[in-house]
Amino acid sequence: MYTAYGPQRWWPGETALEIIVGAILTQSAAWTNVEKALSNLTAAGVLSPEGLRTLAEEQLAALIRPSGYFNAKASKLKAFVALLDERYGGDLDRMLGSPVDELRAALLTTHGIGPETADSILLYAAGRPLFVIDAYARRTFSRLGLLPESDSYHDWQRLFMRALPPDAPLFAEYHALIVRHGKGVCRRRPMCARCPLAAVCPVGLAAA
The string of DSSP letters for 77-146 reads HHHHHHHHHHHHTT-HHHHHTS-HHHHHHHHHTSTT--HHHHHHIIIIIT--------HHHHHHHHHTT-
Element (H, E) at 51: helix 49-54
Give pLDDT, residue 17.
Answer: 98
- 80 and 152 in a single domain? The answer is no
Question: Looking at 109, 125, 141, which one is the last position of a domain?
Answer: 125
- 185 and 161 in a single domain? The answer is yes
- 193 and 97 in a single domain? The answer is no
Q: Give the domain extent around 57.
A: 16-125
The answer to whether position 1 is within a domain reads no
Q: Which residues contact 35 (CB under 8 A, 6 or more apart)?
A: 12
The answer to whether position 10 is within a domain reads no
The answer to whether position 162 is within a domain reads yes
Give pLDDT, residue 133.
Answer: 98
- 26 and 100 in a single domain? The answer is yes
Residue type, 175: H
Cβ-contact 29, 68 below 8 angstroms: yes
The answer to whether position 9 is within a domain reads no
- 95 and 116 in a single domain? The answer is yes
Give pLDDT, residue 12.
Answer: 86
Structural domains counted in the chain: 2
Give pLDDT, residue 208.
Answer: 83
- 112 and 24 in a single domain? The answer is yes
The answer to whether position 120 is within a domain reads yes
- 152 and 121 in a single domain? The answer is no
- 79 and 102 in a single domain? The answer is yes
Question: Looking at 59, 94, 125, which one is the last position of a domain?
Answer: 125
pLDDT per residue rounded down to tens, the chain (208 residues)? 999 999 998 898 889 999 999 999 999 999 999 999 999 999 999 999 999 999 999 999 999 999 999 999 999 999 999 999 999 999 999 999 999 999 999 999 999 999 999 999 999 999 999 999 999 999 999 999 999 999 999 999 999 999 999 999 999 999 999 999 999 999 999 999 999 999 999 999 998 8
The answer to whether position 67 is within a domain reads yes
CATH code, domain with 78:
1.10.340.30
- 109 and 41 in a single domain? The answer is yes
The answer to whether position 140 is within a domain reads yes
> What whole-number distance in Å separates Cα of residue 35 and Cα of residue 102?
30
- 116 and 188 in a single domain? The answer is no
- 27 and 107 in a single domain? The answer is yes
